[in-house]
Structure 1
C-alpha cells in the first residue's frame, strides 16, 4: 500500500521541467535545460543512468535491451554529443559498455546526477488547465505529486516488446522469446533456431547464433538492404556527407546502389546469388525500404548456408513452424526481433493517439495542442541517435525558456499534414528521419546551422567529412560564439 503526498513546494521564479527518463535523451535534455536557466527534475525508474544502454545480467532481462556482444551500428565519428567528444581510443563501432561509460562521463562532467531521481516511476502526468502539469511519481512505498511548467518525455520507444500472436501458438512446444530477453548464444548451442526480423538486432543475433546452433533460419517479410559496416574501407556512415546530400535524390540512390554492389562484389556475393538463397531484395528507394547496417559476416553466412533465409512465419504447430510460402521446418526456439509497442501509460489516453507506432507531433517533438509537452528521442533515426536527441533537447529548452517561438497551433498542424506526404512517411520504420537532413532542419530553426563560408578552414570537413554534431556549436542563435 502506498501513501500519497500533496504537491511538493518549489522556489518561485525558476521554471521547473519534468524530464521522464535518464537515458541519452533525458541526459541531453537535462543539460540543455540547465544551459537555458531552467530547472530539470529527471525521473528514472532504474537505479542508474543509461536507459537502453544499461546492461546488468544480475537484473531481470539483463536490465535493458542490450545483449552481451552488441556494438553500435553507427560509427563513433557521427554519434557523439556536440560538446563532449568520444575518446579517440575507442574502436570505430564501440561496444555497448563503452557507450554507457561515455554517458556516465557526460553526466558527471555537466553535474547532471543531482537532478535525477532514481528508482522513481512516473504513474501519471496530466495538464492542469493552468499551463502547468501535475506529475505523480512512486518510489514503491510512497507516491508524490508535484507541479511543473512543462513535461518532456524522453523514455524512448523500446520498452514494451512486440510478440506476434500466431495460429497454433498454444500447441507449440518449443521456446519463444523476444530479442529483449536475449543476452548471448550459449543456451542455444546445438539447437535449430529461427530468428524473425532483419533489423540490426535480428541480423546480429542470427550471425552470433550461427557459430553455435545446429541451424539458424532468418525469417523476413520484405527483406532489407544490408549495409556492411565498412564501405570503401571506411565506416559506412562516412559516405553520408553534405556533398552527397547536395546531389539530386535519384543520383544519390544510384551512387548508394553502386557502393553496395561494390562491397557485395568484394565479398564474392552477387544479388542473383542472394535471391537464389531466398533473400528478398527490396526497392532501391531509400525512403521506402529497410536499411540495416550489419556485421559483414551476415551475407557470407547466408552464402555458405550457415543462415537459411525463410519467409514470414505464418503458423505454429508442436515443433513445426510454417512459413507464408507453405514451406515448414522443425525448430527448438523462435527469437522474435520484431520491435516494440509504443506506449505512454502515464499520459491521458485522450491526449496522445498512437497509430502504427506513430504519434502526430510537430517535427516529431512538439504536441500542437499542448506546447508545454514535448518528446525528445521518440523518432527513429537513419543514422546516429545521440546528435538528434541532443539538438531536439536544445530546441525544446530554448522554446521553454522563451528564446525560440513555436508556430501557431494551425501552422504546426499544417506542417504535420504536409510531412505525411514526405517520402519518409512511407518508411517501414515508424517516425524515421534521415540524420543529416533532420539535424539541419532543426539547426536552421535554432539559428545554429553554420554559415560555413565564415569558417573556410572547416570547408573540407564540412563537405567531404562524416556528419558531426560539433558543427552546430560554430554558431549560436545565428551568431558566432
Structure 2
C-alpha cells in the first residue's frame, strides 16, 4: 500500500520505518528544511533541552550516544533523529520542505496535495498518517493594550521564533506561562537580558535535575520502587495533600533547593527553573 506521512518528528520517523519494514510504499512530508519536528533548527529557542534523560528519551532499539549530556540539548536530539533516519535509510522516502496543504477523499484512498516552494504536486495514496504533533501552530492570545505595547517598541514573540535568543540581550523580558518551555526561556533570558520575569496563573512545584545528587526523574518514576511511591503519593493527593510534599519530606536538602511550594496535585518537571530561581520573579 502507498502511505503518506505528514510530519518528520520522532513519531513520523518511527512510523515510516515500521511501515517500510512491513513492505509498504511510504512517502514522508516535512515542511521544515530539516527533520526533528519540535527539535528542528527552524524552531529552536534558547535553553531548549529534553525534560527526560537520554535513556528514556530514545527509541528502545536505538539508544542515544553515551557521550551526550544527561538531558540532551535540542541540537543533540535533532542530530540523534537524523542519525536514526540515516540508519534506517529513511532519506529515501523523506521530502523536506514539502508542506501538505490539502487532503481529501478519492475513491477508497486519499488525494494529497503538497507544496514545495512555488511548485505544487498531488498524488493518491491508500492511507494518510498525521504525525505533525500538537505543537505545530503557536498560540498567542490577543491581550488588551497589545497594539500600544508594540507601537511603543515592545515585541511579542513565540518561543519557536527566537532562534539563538540574541534578540533578548539587554532587553526587559517577560515570559508568560509556567510550563517547561516558559521555564527554559526564563532561565536563559536571565543570563543575557537586562531583566527577566515570569508570570503564571498557577505556580506549581518543579523538581531539580537531581535530588540528593543521585536520584533523577527516571529513578523516581520509571522504576518499580518509584512507581509504588508515586501511587501512594497520588492517593494522598486525592485525600487533599500534595504529592510533592511526600517526595520533599523523604529527601534531604540539596544546597538551597526550595522546600516549600503552593499546594498542587499537578506535579510538573523542569530543571531550568531550579537554576534560575534567584534571577526570576514568579507571580501567580
Structure-2-length-normalised TM-score: 0.86
The equivalent of 1:119 in structure 2 is: 97
Match of 1:239 in 2: 220
Total equivalences in the alignment: 273
- The CA deviation string for residues 422-463 of structure 1, in whole angstroms up to 9 with x for no partner, is xxxxxxxxxxxxxxxxxxxxxxxxxxxxxxxxxxxxxxxxxx
> What's the counterpart of residue 219 of structure 1?
199
Pair 163,109 (structure 1): closer, same or farther in 2 beyond 3 Å: same
Is 1:208 matched up with 2:194?
A: no
User: Which residue does the alignment assign to 1:309?
Assistant: 282
Shift of 1:225: 2.3
Kindly provide the CA deviation profile for residues 129-187 of structure 1, in whole angstroms up to 9, marking residues without a partner as x: x4311111222333222111111011112222111111111211222222122234543
Corresponding residue number in structure 2 for 1:39: 25
Identify the residue that residue 259 of structure 1 maps to in structure 2. 247
Contact 1:53 1:100 in 2 (8 A): yes
CA distance in 1, matches of 2:32, 2:159: 20
In structure 2, distance between residues paired with 1:22 and 1:191: 34
The match for 2:54 is 76
For 1:38 and 1:78, locate their aligned partners in 2 and report how far apart those are by CA, in whole Å: 29
Evaluate the alpha carbon distance shift between residue 159 and residue 91 of structure 1 in structure 2; reply closer, same or farther with a 3 A threshold: same
1:53 aligns with 2:49: no
Residue 290 of structure 1, CA deviation:
5.6
Any conservation in 2 of the 1:124–1:135 contact (CA below 8 Å)? yes
List alignment gaps of at least 5 residues for structure 1: 1-14, 56-62, 275-280, 312-481
Distance 1:31 1:236 in 2: 29
Deviation at 1:242, TM superposition (A): 4.4
Deviations 1:66-106 (A, max 9, x none): 12432211101101112111112212111222211111111
Greater CA radius of gyration, 1 or 2?
1
Distance 1:166 1:264, change over 3 A: farther
Superposed CA deviations along residues 335-380 of structure 1, whole A, max 9, x for unmatched, are: xxxxxxxxxxxxxxxxxxxxxxxxxxxxxxxxxxxxxxxxxxxxxx
The residue number in structure 2 matching 1:183 is 163
2:11 alignment counterpart: 25
- The 1:252/1:45 distance shift into structure 2, 3 A limit, reads same
What secondary structure does 2:147 align onto? helix
Find out whether 1:146 has 2:132 as its counterpart.
Answer: no
C-alpha spacing 1:209/1:144, structure 2 compared with 1 (3 Å) = closer
- CA RMSD in angstroms, aligned pairs only: 2.4
Question: What is the CA-CA distance between 1:269 and the residue it aligns to?
Answer: 4.5
- In structure 1, the partner of 2:256 is 268
Match for residue 239 of structure 2? none
**C-alpha separation between the residues in 1 aligned to 2:255 and 2:45?**
27
Provide closer, same or farther for how the CA distance between residues 207 and 262 of structure 1 changes in structure 2, counting only shifts above 3 A: farther
* Corresponding residue to 1:99 among 65, 74, 77: 77
Give secondary structure in 1 for the equivalent of 2:157.
strand
Q: Match of 1:136?
A: 113
How far, CA to CA, are the matches of 2:61 and 2:175 in structure 1? 39
In the TM superposition, 1:407-422 aligns within 5 A as none
Q: Distance in 2 between matches of 1:167 and 1:188?
A: 23
Cα displacement string for residues 24-47 of structure 1 (whole angstroms, at most 9, x for unaligned residues)? 111110001012221211112223
Cα-to-partner distance string for 1:109-140 (whole Å, 9 max, x where unaligned): 11111111222121211123x43111112223
Distance in 2 separating the partners of 1:266 and 1:253:
26
Question: What whole-Å deviation, never above 9, does each CA across 1:389-432 have from its counterpart, x for those lacking one?
Answer: xxxxxxxxxxxxxxxxxxxxxxxxxxxxxxxxxxxxxxxxxxxx
CA contact (8 A) 1:120 1:139 kept: yes
d(CA) in 1 for partners of 2:228 and 2:250? 22
**What is the Cα deviation at residue 253 of structure 1?**
5.8
Provide Cα deviations, 1:312-349, integer angstroms capped at 9, x if missing partner: xxxxxxxxxxxxxxxxxxxxxxxxxxxxxxxxxxxxxx
Q: Is the 8 A contact 2:46 2:165 kept in 1?
A: no
